[in-house]
Structures are given as structure tokens and as C-alpha cells.
Chain A
Amino acid sequence: MNILVCIKRVPDIAGSVTLDATGTGIDESGLGHTMSSHEECAVELAIQTAAQAGGTVTVLTLGPAEAVEQLRAAVAVGANDGILVEAADPSVFAPEDIAQVIGDVIRDRAEAGQTFDLVLTGDDAADTGDFQVGIRLAYDLGYPVLTNIQTISVGGAAGGGGERGSGRIEARGIGPVGTEIFSLDLPAVVAVHEGGVDPRYPSITGRMKAKKAQVVEYDAPVPGMGSPRLRLELPEVKASSVTILGEGPEAAPALVDVLEEIGVIRP
């Protein structure tokens, strides 16, 4: 089973941010970069699933040349190779555009003899949080799609005829009243939510492998749709208005007063 994982290079934000000169993006100069956390779990799931079923894991990103770092980070933990779709400024792409470009690359790879039975994405990217690329990609490819998935296992109860012929997976995800279990024929797109697996750390040999990893390169076309963004704004920073009730256990009665006032202590 060959798996493609779509990952996005995003700034690693811990505190507040500032805007860049154009006002349409955040100033990334002082920030490190990473892949979104849902995608780290998607990479881990892909590695485990490929190990279980036999097959390869390829990672793909549409991003600037530097996004090759995120591809190499995925190879360092066990992915086999990468695809870089280079776009100097990915922020001008709409989710529609990204899905379309990834769909085109997947079709092009198929012509080159590289096919994928399962395509994984994150639920939403840590920066834009559009919650669309995986779903739009699935429609573009004509594949079924699940979102909010935390774990995947190969096989599962037969059903649906299985005539699509690329295998079958069972997927478990987050529903409003409990864990929901799905079973579906491949090929398919699955959007992953963090929390079902622990992303592993790279080993020394993994890091060595990552340096030499094969990365196929494409140039992203000019986006057809374009991002609907006008500009970014920052939330106003409110001055602290904290009341310090005290230090250590002596302050406990003051807090119990507050909780009584709010009326949340069980009689």
C-alpha cells in the first residue's frame, strides 16, 4: 500500500506575532518552521500503516524552496521520499488552488508510474485553518474522504463489494458522542486529527537518510482562484487586570470565596 501524506510548512508560533510590511502575512523572520501538528500524526500513521500492509510513504508539500526541510523531517522519521511543489509565495493560493495543484501532481505521478492507494492530510493547517484542502482534493480525485480520523488499520470487515480494488482500511475518528468507526475501500483521502498516535523522533540513521532523500520537484502554476485574503489584523492586547489572591496554600480561602460567589461548589 503506497501512501501520500500532504504536509504544509508553517511558522512555529508560541506567543504573540507581528505583521509583515505588506500587512497580509505575519512576520516570520524571527520564527522557526514546522509542519502542522495534525500532519505529524498523519506522517506517523502513514509509517505504521505502510509497515503493516507493506508499501511506501511519500510526503508532498506545496511551499517555498525551504519547505524541503519539512519533507526531510518526515523522511528522517521514516517516510521514503518527497515531492516539492515549489511556490515562492504559497499564501496567494486558495484552498481550491492547493487541492487542484496536488490533484494534478498526483495524476502526473501516476503517469510516471508512481500511484498512491491512500492520501493523508491534516484536518486543517496550523496557519490558515481552512479545513478544506483534504476534502477538495478528494472531490478532485473522485475519491471518498473521511476527516477527524485518529487511527487507521489495514483490512477490516469486507463490504461494499470492494471492486475498487486497492485494499480496505478501518479508520477511527472523533464523533460528537464517541469514537466513530469507518470502513472503506481504497483509494481514498483521509484527513487526520492529532491525538491517536505519538509522532516518533528521528533516529541518527533517519537523519542521515533524510539528507540523501529523493525529492521530485515541480513548479506550482499561477493560482487560478487566488486567496480571498484582504489583510491580516492582530487582536488588541488587553492590559492585565488580574487580582492576585495571594501566595501558596494560605490563599485557598480567598479562591473558595470566589468559587462560592460564582456558585459552582457542589453543596
Chain B
Amino acid sequence: MTMVFVETDPAGEVTLTSAEAITFARKNPQLLPDGGAATSREVSGPPSGSTEGVVIGPLSDAAVESLGRLGVGVIHHLDHPDLAEYSAAAWAQAIVDVAPESGTLLASGTPRGMELMAHAAVRTGARMAANVIAADAEGLLRQVHGGTAFERLRLDGDLQVLTIAGHACTPEETTPITPEVYAYDLTVAEADLTTRVQRTEVEAADDASGLTSARAVVGAGRGVGSENGFAEVLELVDHLGGALGVSRVVTGLGWRPHAEQVGQTGSRISPDVYIACGISGAIQHMAGIEGAKTLVAINTDEESTMVQRADYAIIGDLHEVVGAVNEEIVRRRG
């Protein structure tokens, strides 16, 4: 049986990356070592071989419906006052309480997903593989070295724990089913609450969540030149109603906050269009933009990786080019 930890956003909807992880689970039935039969304990009669989901905290009708459309037949709903504030240990134990004894437990490779799966792996004695991108009869394939190479591996044991690399899989809906929702009477151990979130400051991450869901992202790299060089790219962001994403050189120099960083150690994004301005295309940056549907490069160097990997490119100074793009947009608006 394959069970997916499902993350929901503040509005109660299933996040994009969780939808990806569910689709991955559904499309890889070989992850079900017992051929897909439901083996879970208290659950009776779920559609055979269907994916099961775990949701912690409030479960909205919208989320139940979305999960049904993604092919989730059973939802384990874990709600408890002590789980209202996030604590990795307590949340992981709640997941472990309903996890199958054999099969696959997985989540998307977000900070939460990574942390919870690692805790769950230790608590169940399972092995874990992070950043998985494919599964077949031979085993698993996952990203290593920031995406420059893939590792083939096999995890032994009855239960395997995985995280799915962001945007390794496009979410796909299937014939909608009505999931069965199971609620539980949980007990949360005091010891698992010492690492509970005390408080959350929302401001900075608004940018970050806008970045991962924006349809258009304008990227800015070292080529911007200085802290004061962002006027044109920010105006373009505004014209597109999109978000700004930056390279690590930009955050490292303190020009922009880390929440805006895209790449291996920043956010992974999947916009309809990514416009990379003055970014060379280092492998660690590319790791964050693989999900972009159209890639545009604006760069002085035609030979740069970003230009070579792009769908469209303009060769030239980004301030001049982006400035002219802004003017053209304003002109066409009339």
C-alpha cells in the first residue's frame, strides 16, 4: 500500500507539490509490493490498490474533493489540539500511527515533507530515499549532486520511505472517486512536543509562497549589477502579476532576501514562464527551474548555459532589454 502525506495550504487546499507526489504514487503501482491490495489495518473496503492520503489538522471539503480527483481512495484525517502547532516529532508519530507496515510512505520534497519522512523512517525502522524522480522494477532513481547526477538504488525492508523531488511529476487528475475519510482518536506524547513551533512570523514567507505558485517568475542574477539594479526587473514582475526569483549570488551578496532564492538550496518553481535575467545557469540554479514550462534568457553571453538551455533568448544588457520590454508592454496597453 502506498500512503502519501498531504500538505494543505492556509486556505485548506491540497498544495501543488502534494498533488505531484500523489500523482507519482498513483502512476508507480510497482511501489506497491503486494500488487496493490489494501493491507492497512483498521481500514476496510477502500478501492483496491488506491493511494491513501494522510492529512494533519483541518480537512476542508475542497481538499477531500481534490484528493478524490487525484485518485486518493482513503484519507486518514489526523486532528488533535496538540497537533495544531507544528512539531515534527508529534506529526511524524501521528503519521507512523496510521502508516502501513509494508509498502511505501511518501511525501513531496518540501521542507516539511523531508523532515517528517526522515522522522517517520527512524520511528518505523525504515530506510529512506530523498528527492526521488522515478521508480521502476529495478528500484528507485533520485537526484544527487544537486541534480547533476541520478542515483539508482534499492531500499530493502517491508516499508520504504520516500520524498518526491519537486516538479519531477506533473499533477494529473483521474476518474474522480469519493474518498473514505477515517478519523482517529490520537494520543500525543509530551516528549514529542518540545520541538513545537512557538510562533510564526508570516511576512517573509508570503514572498516565498507567491514564488512557488506564480504563473510568471522573473529571475535576477549577478548580472543585475548591484542592490540598486532591480528597478527594471521589478517593474516587469508587476506587469506580469508575477514574482521575483533570484540566484544565490544575489542572496549571498545581501541584495535580496533568501526567501526569494531559486534553486537547489532555495525554492523549486514551476511557472508557465521563467525569464532569467543575468543568470548564468549553474546546475544548482537549474535544479530549481526544471518545472518551468517556457524558459526565457536575457544575458550578455550567448554561450552561457542559461541561453543554451532556454526556449527563447535575447542577447544584451538586461537593464536595456528589460527596460524596453516594460516600455513595449505599456505602449501596447495604450
Shortest Cβ distance from B214 into A: residue? A264
Q: Which residue of A lies closest to B89 (CB)?
A: A144
When the two chains form the complex, which single residue of A15, A128, A233 contacts B283, counting CB atoms closer than 8 Å? A15
Contact A252 B111 (CB under 8 A): no
The answer on a CB contact under 8 Å between B194 and A258 is: no
Known: A174-B205, A256-B325. A193 touches B265 (CB 8 A): yes
Question: Knowing A129-B131, A130-B130, A248-B321 touch, does A259 contact B240 (C-beta < 8 A)?
Answer: yes
Asked if B197 and A182 sit within 8 Å, CB to CB, the answer is: yes
Does A205 make an interface contact (CB < 8 A)? no
Residue numbers in A under 8 Å from B312 (CB-CB): 242-245, 255, 258
| Contact assessment for B307 and A253 in the assembled complex, using a CB-CB cutoff below 8 Å | no
Please tell me if the beta carbons of A252 and B200 are within 8 angstroms of each other in the complex.
Answer: no
Of listed A147, A229, A258, residue having the most chain B CB within 10 A: A147
Could you tell me if B145 and A13 are in contact, using CB atoms closer than 8 angstroms? yes
- Tell me whether A147 and B114 are in contact in the complex, defined as CB-CB below 8 angstroms, given that A26-B149, A228-B129 are known contacts: yes
**A259 close to B273 (CB less than 8 A):** yes
Expressed in whole angstroms, the minimum distance between the Cβ of B312 and any Cβ of chain A is 5
When the two chains form their complex, are residues B258 and A194 in contact, meaning their CB atoms are under 8 A apart? yes
B115 touches A147 (CB 8 A): yes
A126 within 8 A of B: yes
Residues of B within 8 A of A234 (CB): 148-150
C-beta contact mask, A226-239 vs B, less than 8 Å → 1, else 0?
Answer: 01111111110010
Given known contacts A124-B114, A245-B312, A131 and B144 CB-to-CB distance under 8 angstroms: no
> Does A65 interact with chain B (Cβ within 8 Å)?
no
CB distance from B39 to the nearest CB of A (A): 23
Closest to B129 in A: A228
Instruction: Specify which chain A residues have a CB less than 8 angstroms from the CB of B147 in the assembled complex.
Output: 235
Interface residue stretch chosen among A78-86, A108-116, A132-140, A216-224 = A132-140
Contacts of B264 in A (CB 8 A): 126
The distance in angstroms between the C-alpha atoms of A196 and B310, with both chains bound, is 31
| Total residues of chain A contacting the partner, CB 8 A | 87
Encode B291-330 as 1/0 by CB contact (under 8 A) with A.
Answer: 0001011000010010111111111110011011101110
B259 / chain A contacts, CB cutoff of 8 Å: 174
Contact yes or no, B86 A17, CB < 8 A:
no
Residues in chain A near residue B42, CB distance under 8 A: none
Count: A-B pairs, CB below 8 Å: 265
B198 near A265 (CB under 8 angstroms)? no
Query: Is there contact, CB below 8 Å, between B328 and A233?
Result: no
Check A183/B118 contact, CB under 8 A, given A229-B151, A255-B312, A256-B332.
no
Judge whether A54 is part of the interface by a CB distance below 8 angstroms.
no
Report yes or no: A131 in contact with B130, Cβ–Cβ below 8 A.
Answer: yes
Tell whether, in the assembled complex, residue A233 and residue B265 are in contact, meaning their CB atoms are under 8 Å apart: no
- Residues of chain B with a CB closer than 8 A to A253's CB: 328
Is the CB of B254 closer than 8 A to any CB of chain A?
A: yes
Indicate if the CB atoms of A177 and B209 lie closer than 8 Å. Answer: yes
| Contact between A252 and B324, CB atoms less than 8 A apart | yes
Q: Are B252 and A198 in contact (CB under 8 A)?
A: yes
CB of A230 within 8 A of CB of B273, answer no
Beta-carbon contact of A256 and B149 below 8 Å: no
Given A147-B115, A194-B258, A251-B321; A176-B152 close (CB under 8 Å): no
Interface string of A1-34 (1 = CB under 8 A from B): 0000000000101111101000000100000000
Chain A, range 30-51, C-beta contacts under 8 Å to B:
37-38
A57 at the interface (CB under 8 A from B): no
A63 to B294, CA, bound (A): 41
Is A160 positioned at the interface, with any CB of B under 8 Å from its CB? Answer: yes
* Residues of A contacting B324 in the complex (Cβ-Cβ under 8 angstroms): 249-250, 252
Query: Is B155 interfacial (CB-CB < 8 Å)?
Result: yes
Closest to B8 in A: A176
A183-B198, A243-B313, A266-B241 known; A94+B127 contact, CB < 8 A:
yes
Residues of B within 8 A of A147 (CB): 88, 111, 114-115, 118
Q: Judging by beta carbons under 8 Å apart, are B294 and A228 in contact? A: no
Q: Is the CB of B197 within 8 A of A180?
A: yes
Chain B residues packing against A (C-beta within 8 Å): 7, 9-10, 86, 88-89, 110-112, 114-115, 118-119, 121-122, 127-131, 138-139, 141, 143-156, 163, 194-206, 208-209, 215-216, 238-242, 251-252, 254, 258-259, 261, 264-265, 272-273, 282-283, 294, 296-297, 302, 305, 307-317, 320-321, 323-325, 327-329, 332-333
9 A-B Cβ contacts within 8 A?
A38-B265, A132-B121, A144-B194, A175-B200, A228-B153, A231-B151, A234-B149, A235-B149, A246-B314
Q: When A and B form their complex, which 8 residue pairs have the shortest distance between CB atoms, in order from nearest?
A: A195-B258, A249-B324, A252-B324, A178-B202, A248-B316, A264-B216, A178-B205, A135-B118
- Known pairs A15-B305, A178-B205, A243-B313 / 15 extra A-B pairs, C-beta < 8 Å: A123-B114, A128-B151, A130-B130, A132-B130, A139-B122, A176-B111, A177-B206, A230-B138, A234-B150, A242-B310, A244-B315, A246-B315, A252-B324, A253-B328, A265-B239
